[in-house]
Each structure stands twice: as structure tokens, then as C-alpha cells.
Structure 1
């Protein structure tokens, strides 16, 4: 291989080009750049998205084997229901079609506002659990058995479920 390279170099020596041959003509060298107008489309400003609300059917439940799986105190996201829970705990189970895992808008741990049930049950809830697959567009509010039997048990249709946006962070200016 080295003999072939030697013969090629010997038979066809490399040519050198003078620097004057590489120089630009004088007319090109004296040109200066000029500003060029560019038309860019003006896009409208995007407004902050409105918080979307959903109309769902709501029911109440308490953790017992008849209403849940064989481990009633553990929710679908792995949280353990407090022993002394009540409607003030503000935990919510949602149907699968509402969870992002199955294409819905909500995730475990998100805060949602529920309104339209009653003064005692309306408010902000945290999504911790999933309802049985037979339910669609439904939510279940966690209460204790005593509350259900004293009048909080029920089924409400047309309940508004609204995702809460992130809380604003205060910064000193």
C-alpha cells in the first residue's frame, strides 16, 4: 500500500494554488450587507386555559369488603385510609374513564372541587382511589359507616367535578 502511494505521489505531484487565485474579485470584496425586511406572521397570544369541569354522578362509600376489594383500607394509589376517617378526610374514588391511566383528565393525588351534592359534602377532594370498571363518569366520596347511616348516604346526578389548577407561588419582588 505504501509503494502505491509513493508511485502516485511521484507520478502526479500535488499542485499548489497561489493565494491571489483564492481572493475574491474587488467588486465582491467592497459590497456591504444591507438590511432586508422579513414578513413574519403575527400569532395571537394564547390565553390561559380555562379549568374544565365535568358533570358526573356521585355516591358515597365506606371501606368495607362488600363495597371494595379484599383490602378495604388500601386505596388504588397505595394510600392507607386513616382509621378515624370521616367525610372531612376529603378522599375521592373516580371511575376509570376519568383517570389518565385510561385516557381521562385526572391523576391520582390531584385536587378537584366537587359541588352539587350537599353543604356537608361539597368541597375540595384529593383523588386516591378507582371505582369498579362497571362505573362510568362517576365519583365516590369517602365517608364512614356511621355518617352514611345517619343521612349522608346517597346518589346524586349532575354533580360538577372541576380540576383545580396549580396553586400560585408567592415570591418577594
Structure 2
């Protein structure tokens, strides 16, 4: 019950009416509603794009003090990087200008599709971390140091970053 309805009921309680006063005249009791046709204009609906796409620069990183802060296994959103992580973990760090906290389109936990790096690194990632403030319009892919030594280390420009539509949440009716 809304607060306004509660207050109205509290301030102006309903009056009780005796039964004989409720009797309706026979003319009113025999009336029935008639159908009325209503014509509503049909307006075309503009659909918003399901995904937004951005062109960014991509690099790879692994959690070590030289590339992160003094606690390399903890990301900016408080997640802990698994000890046996690899490029299959699919975590991503984005530059601050890409996060909604600083006016960007993404939030921690958003799923994004990265394409244009390589067959091994393209795919769907979850944003868990942020980059140093000196970087703009960049993403950093979490990999293992061993993978970088085997050829996954690099810097790529013109990488496509697409925001995936959020999955619908289940609600009981």
C-alpha cells in the first residue's frame, strides 16, 4: 500500500452506510456498458543498438609488482587473480577514461568482446581491473608470464572492443 493511500485512509476513515441506502434504483441496475472503439496511432519504435563498439589499443600484462601496484594479485574491483591463471582466464583491465566512474561506458564486471588481436586472445572478457592514469583508450589483457615469453606479448592498435548486452536477470512473479 502506498504511503499516500495509507495517510488518506488514516486521516479520512471510510464511513459505514446502512444496507437500505445502498439499494440502487431499477433503472441504474439494468444499465450495461456499451463497447467503444478507440483508435490509437501506431508509432515506429527506434531500437537502440545492442552493442556499442570502440577502437582501442590493446596490450598484455601479468601480475607482478613492476607492472601493477604493490599487491599484484588483487584487481581494482577487489577480485583476486587465480594463482594458476592464463590467457584463458579472460580478465581485462581498461584505462580510466573507459570506466563509468570517470565518464566512460564500462563498469567493473561488464562483459566485452575483444577482436583484432589474435586468434588466441580474441574473445569475451570480463572487466576486473583498471590501468594507470597515463593510459587513455586502452585495454590490458591478463596473461601468464610464460605465455608472453612464448609470443603473446605485444601492443596492438585498432582493436575492436564491443560491449555485450547484459544478460536478463530472473525475477519471481
Q: TM-score range by the shorter chain?
A: 0.7 to 0.9
Is the alpha carbon distance of 1:169 and 1:102 closer, same or farther for their aligned partners in structure 2, counting shifts above 3 Å?
closer
Instruction: Output one character per residue of 1:95-154: Cα deviation in whole Å (capped at 9) or x when no partner.
Output: 000000000000000100000000000000000000000000000000010001111000
Aligned ranges 1:41-80 → 2 under 5 Å:
43-80=43-80
Structure 1's unaligned 5+ residue stretches are 1-38
Which residue of structure 1 aligns with residue 165 of structure 2? 165
TM-score between the two structures when normalised by the length of structure 2: 0.72
Three-state SS of the structure 2 residue aligned to 1:160 is: strand
CA distance in 2 between counterparts of 1:56 and 1:98 reads: 10
CA distance in 1 between counterparts of 2:138 and 2:168 reads: 29
TM-score between the two structures when normalised by the length of structure 1: 0.72
Which residue of structure 1 aligns with residue 125 of structure 2? 125
| Aligned pairs, number | 135
CA distance in 1 between counterparts of 2:50 and 2:146 reads: 38
Q: Note if contact 2:50-2:165 (Cα within 8 Å) is conserved in structure 1.
A: no
1:91 aligns with 2:76: no
Which residue of structure 2 aligns with residue 105 of structure 1? 105
CA distance in 2 between counterparts of 1:122 and 1:75 reads: 21
Structure 2's unaligned 5+ residue stretches are 1-38
Aligned CA RMSD, in angstroms, stands at 2.2
